[in-house]
Amino acid sequence: MTDSIPLLSLQGITKIFPGVHALEHVRLDLYPGKVTALIGENGAGKSTLVKVMTGIYQPDEGEILYKNIPVKLVNPQSAHKLGITAIHQETVLFDELSVTENIFAGHYLQRGLFNRLDWPAMQRKTEEILTRLDVQIDPRAVLKELSIAQRHMVAIARALSFDAQVVILDEPTAALSQHEIIEFYQIIARLKQENKAILFISHKFDEIFAISDYYTILRDGSYIGSGHISDITEARMVTMMVGREISQTYPKPAQTPGETVLQVVGLSHPTEFSAISFSLRRGEILGFYGLVGAGRTELMKALFGVTPPSRGQILIGGQARHFANPSEAIAAGIVYVPEERQQQGTIIALPIYQNISLPQLSRLNPHGILNENKEWALADEYARRLQVKAFSWRQSVETLSGGNQQKVVIGKWLATQPQIIILDEPTKGIDIGSKAAVHQFMAELVAQGLAVIMVSSELPEIMGMAHRIIVMHEGLLVGEFKAGEATAEMIVSVASGASEDVA
């Protein structure tokens, strides 16, 4: 792939868990001053490979070479000593601590005979690292006061405080705005200038092609191919990822939506949104688009009874309803798949089948005696329909890839057979193969008469799946388009507040 010697090389890596080959003879090379994209569907083995690289898992076969010398990464500390660090989509930092405290947590600088903590030195070092990154963050600032993008920068600064040579970026832009993503690209450019070897994991092809030098593709735990990013097309990459052509990415149903099932009139919240009115019909996908801070998620939470609106009406089947809590919304036939699947959508320590059956325990167990066979049958039906990849429905949700976790959350709510399902960023952090499965299932649901509200920040998804698109800006409904009547430029213009309402 290149004439230089890899800084880190994984050769023939195999990792076996009970009942499944998570990795089978995988290889990966990372080069100094270069970005290598690790690409694959959810469940392809990317997370397992990262855990092998960072000493969390030990490979059953294969070897790891650092600067062409075989090494054993027996634990995360040994990986850190070599200069290998990972920055995850949901990096664990400490909200109540300062930036400096977060950067040096676990490896504080000390001085003097009694090894007292050297706070002045740590503050100076923090300022040096942030200056290198050209990031304007006060080292004394408390982390909870920072934006998501700034927290990512703190995580990178922490990695550099270890003098990291290999930096693993796992879905680092999933929660960033477009402006923040551009700033993040600049950070990556600086890391390349410092000769760091970077592994970049993302499901966004535009990012992969924008910043990567090389690629490596995994499928079902196996190495499929690698090469220079300039030598592969997006279509070829998709085919290698999924082992098949994905010809119909957005299978929007052709039938005309039916009668109105939900009507929202003048719904307002004191701080989040104001005077929102729209309708939703049976067999319709209604898309909500907006930039960060538009108020879309807050509106959906009000519809689901999480936060009460200050005024306005919600009508279901023509009848005004007020939801004091989510259980009342569920009883009325509304369910909500949240954007934050791990914190709000699942109990990650429980197995798949118990997560899917959880909202229906009283129905499945009417006399208070758990009937595991009924729970299993329900979970089996929906996990299979959504193509959840797992070796058993007894597998805990926390061990699944992000895309498969999302499928479990969707399956849990679909199993309640609702009238209306709200999907908040349903394919966030999901690979293209899993996206296609979710989109296909959405099309099947509306074909059966379900009404769907889909909140998405991905314009192609909104334009490809929705019958109508509602655009929000700073808590206001600023535009509405029928499918096919607006270009991406028109929608973004309205969402940014640069255009008048063209509904």
Residue 30 domain-assigned (yes or no): yes
Q: How many residues does the chain have?
A: 503
Query: Which residues, in sequence order, are CB contacts of 164 under 8 Å at separation 6+?
Result: 83, 84, 85, 196
Given a contact cutoff of 8 angstroms between Cβ atoms, the answer to whether 95 and 145 are in contact is no
Same domain? 229 vs 269: no
Do both 176 and 268 map to the same domain? no
The residue whose two tokens read 């970049």 is 200
213 and 110 in a common domain = yes
- Please state the domain count of the chain: 2
Q: Residue 43 contacts by C-beta under 8 Å, 6 or more apart in sequence?
A: 220, 389, 400, 401, 403, 404
Whole-number pLDDT of residue 140: 92
| Same-domain status, 338 and 456 | yes
Query: Per-residue pLDDT for the chain (503 aa), expressed as one digit of tens each?
Result: 555 789 999 999 999 987 678 899 999 999 999 999 999 876 788 989 999 999 999 999 999 999 999 999 999 989 988 999 888 765 668 889 999 999 988 778 888 888 888 899 999 999 988 888 788 899 999 988 887 778 878 888 887 787 789 999 988 776 666 777 787 888 899 889 989 999 999 877 888 999 999 999 998 899 999 999 999 998 888 788 877 555 556 776 667 889 999 999 999 999 899 999 999 999 999 999 987 678 998 999 999 999 989 999 999 989 999 999 988 998 899 999 887 655 555 677 778 887 887 777 667 767 777 777 878 887 788 888 877 878 888 788 788 776 777 788 888 877 777 899 999 888 876 767 777 878 887 888 898 889 999 998 878 888 889 999 999 988 999 999 998 888 877 887 788 775 444 44
Q: Pick the closest to residue 214 from 238, 201, 230 (CA basis).
A: 230
Q: Write the CA distances from 66 to 26, 35, 87, 218, integer angstroms.
A: 16, 17, 20, 22
The DSSP letter of residue 163 is T
If one counts every other C-beta atom within 10 angstroms of the C-beta of residue 157, the result is 24
- Residue 450's CATH number: 3.40.50.300
Domain match, 355 and 487 both = yes
425 and 312 in a common domain: yes
Last residue of a domain, one of 190, 216, 242: 242
Which two tokens mark 137? 């963050």
What do you get for the CA distance between the two ends of the chain, in Å?
Answer: 52
Task: Please give the structure tokens belonging to residue 21.
Answer: 């080959």
Dihedral sign for Cα 187, 188, 192, 194, please.
Answer: positive
Q: Where are the strands (E) in 373-500, listed by range?
A: 420-424, 451-455, 468-473, 476-482
Residue 468, token pair as written in the block? 């109508």
From the CB of residue 256, how many other CB atoms can be counted at a distance below 10 Å? Answer: 9
Among the residues of 212-285, which ranges form H helices?
A: 234-242
498/105 Cα distance (integer angstroms):
44
Say how many CA atoms lie within 13 Å of 501 toward its Cβ: 9
377: in domain? yes
Residue where a domain stops, chosen among 213, 242, 271 = 242
Residue 493 is predicted with a pLDDT of: 79
Rounded distance, CA 116 to CA 375, Å?
56
Of 432, 328, 439, give the one whose Cα is nearest residue 42.
432
Amino acid at 328: E
Q: In this predicted structure, what is the pLDDT of residue 477?
A: 95
Half-sphere exposure of 46 (CA within 13 A, CB side): 32
75: number of Cβ within 10 Å: 13
CA–CA distance, 239 with 243 (Å, rounded to integer): 5
Q: Using CA atoms in the order 222, 227, 228, 232, what is the torsion angle rounded to 10 degrees? A: -80
Task: Please indicate, yes or no, whether residues 284 and 412 belong to a single structural domain of this protein.
Answer: yes
Cβ-in-10-Å burial (0-12, 13-18, 19+) of 385 comes to: middle
Kind plus residue range of the DSSP H or E element containing 296: helix 296-303
pTM of the model: 0.61
Instruction: Determine the pLDDT at residue 500.
Output: 47
User: Whole domain around residue 412: which residue ranges?
Assistant: 260-495
- Which pLDDT score, from 0 to 100, does residue 460 have? 82
| pLDDT given at position 502 | 43
Answer yes or no: are the C-beta atoms of 37 and 17 closer than 8 Å.
no
User: In which element (H, E) is residue 300 found?
Assistant: helix 296-303
**Do 462 and 347 share a domain, yes or no?**
yes
Same domain, 268 and 374: yes
Look at residue 352 in the predicted model and tell me its pLDDT: 85
185 and 287: one domain? no
